[in-house]
Amino acid sequence: MTSADSETELPERTESQNEEHASGIESHVSRTGTWIRLAVFVLLVGIISLAYFNFRDVLTLKYLATQETNWRDFASQHPVAIYLIAFLIYTSITGLSLPGAVPLTLTYGWFFGFWKALLLVSFSSTAGATLAFLTSRYLFRSAIQSRYGERFAVINQQFEKEGAFYLFILRLVPAFPFFLINVVMGLTTIRAWTFWWVSQIGMLAGTAVFIYAGTSVPTLQELSEQGAKGILTPQLIVAFVLLGTFPLLVKKIVNRIQNRK
């Protein structure tokens, strides 16, 4: 083998080694994220189990129905405090990418009603998404771009042209995890203001569907009086149909838009 051949093959080996190194880093990050989520899940299970064994005597439907009345009375007497607390809770969960956003959305719809819950969840979810977006941008963007600069240059060029449209599609179609969109968008050159308003509009329809599903759940007082038969209402059936058909409908609309382009 000549020295010229050796010099020609050296960059190929170096590039291969870099790819293996990058793959190792991605694998390590993935494992770390998995362990963190597992730890959070175990912690939540532990808290719920501890609460159940300590308060199982009072966790009856009749008792909870009585407490629901007290909660609603307190909310009507202190609306600003209740909405502020609810906003901070939802923003924290979405901003830290913790599990529980969907159950919390349903709960807010059940407790606050459709329009109040829609405003609350819409703005708090976007605030949490923007928080995760900015965290990703200022903590990870420089390191990622220094390692994968050429690849991200191509991605950023595409986002400069149609970044808002791509983000809108990602928000509208629930095909990608909420937290993943926030983190990945933070690595691009899309502006924070654009990220905020596109997310605000793009997530509105899906949020409305989940809020409606939450409002379809009967109150605890109704469940206490009617039993299991009080759960299955026509409104709840409609809500389940909407939850099932909404992603399919949105996907068809998006495909038509892309075909026209």
pTM of the model: 0.68
Residues 187 and 118 in one domain: yes
Rounded to whole angstroms, the Cα distance separating 123 from 110 reads 18
Residues 222 and 138 in one domain: yes
Residue 132 lies in a domain: yes
Which pLDDT score is estimated for 190?
86
Residues 43 and 165 in one domain: no
List for the chain the helix, strand, coil content (%; round to 5). 85, 0, 15
Residue 65 lies in a domain: no
Which pLDDT score is estimated for 114?
94
Rounded to whole angstroms, the Cα distance separating 181 from 164 reads 13
CB-based burial label for 174 (10 Å; 0-12, 13-18, 19+): middle
Q: Which of 30, 59, 88 marks a domain boundary? A: 59
What is the secondary structure of 2-39 as a DSSP string? Answer: -HHHHHHHHHHHHHHHHHHHHHHHHHHHHHHHHHHHHH
Residues 13 and 137 in one domain: no
| Total structural domains within the chain | 2
142: which 2 tokens? Answer: 């420089």
Which pLDDT score is estimated for 119?
96
Which pLDDT score is estimated for 224?
64
Which residues have a Cβ under 8 Å from the Cβ of 156 and sit 6 or more positions away? 188, 189
Residue 97 lies in a domain: yes
Vertex 139, ends 137 and 141: CA angle to 5°? 50
- Return the DSSP state at 101: H
Residue 28 lies in a domain: yes
Point out the residues of the chain with pLDDT beneath 50.
Answer: 1-13, 18, 21-22, 25, 29
> Residue 260's CB: how many other CB atoms inside 10 A?
6
Residue 64 lies in a domain: no
Rounded to whole angstroms, the Cα distance separating 106 from 240 reads 12
- Return the DSSP state at 236: H
pLDDT digit string (tens) for 174-221? 667 888 888 888 888 888 999 999 999 989 988 998 999 888 887 777
Rounded to whole angstroms, the Cα distance separating 40 from 227 reads 34
Residue 190 lies in a domain: yes
Residues 179 and 115 in one domain: yes
pLDDT digit string (tens) for 35-54? 666 777 788 777 777 766 76
Which residues have a Cβ under 8 Å from the Cβ of 194 and sit 6 or more positions away? 163, 164, 167
Residues 130 and 208 in one domain: yes
Which pLDDT score is estimated for 178?
84
Residues 3 and 100 in one domain: no
Which residues have a Cβ under 8 Å from the Cβ of 184 and sit 6 or more positions away? 136
Residues 45 and 167 in one domain: no
Residues 132 and 86 in one domain: yes
| SS3 state of residue 70 | helix
Rounded to whole angstroms, the Cα distance separating 243 from 210 reads 7
Residue 74 lies in a domain: no
Range(s) of the domain holding residue 129: 79-260
Residues 238 and 122 in one domain: yes
Residues 138 and 197 in one domain: yes
Which pLDDT score is estimated for 11?
47
Residue 13 lies in a domain: yes
Residues 40 and 87 in one domain: no
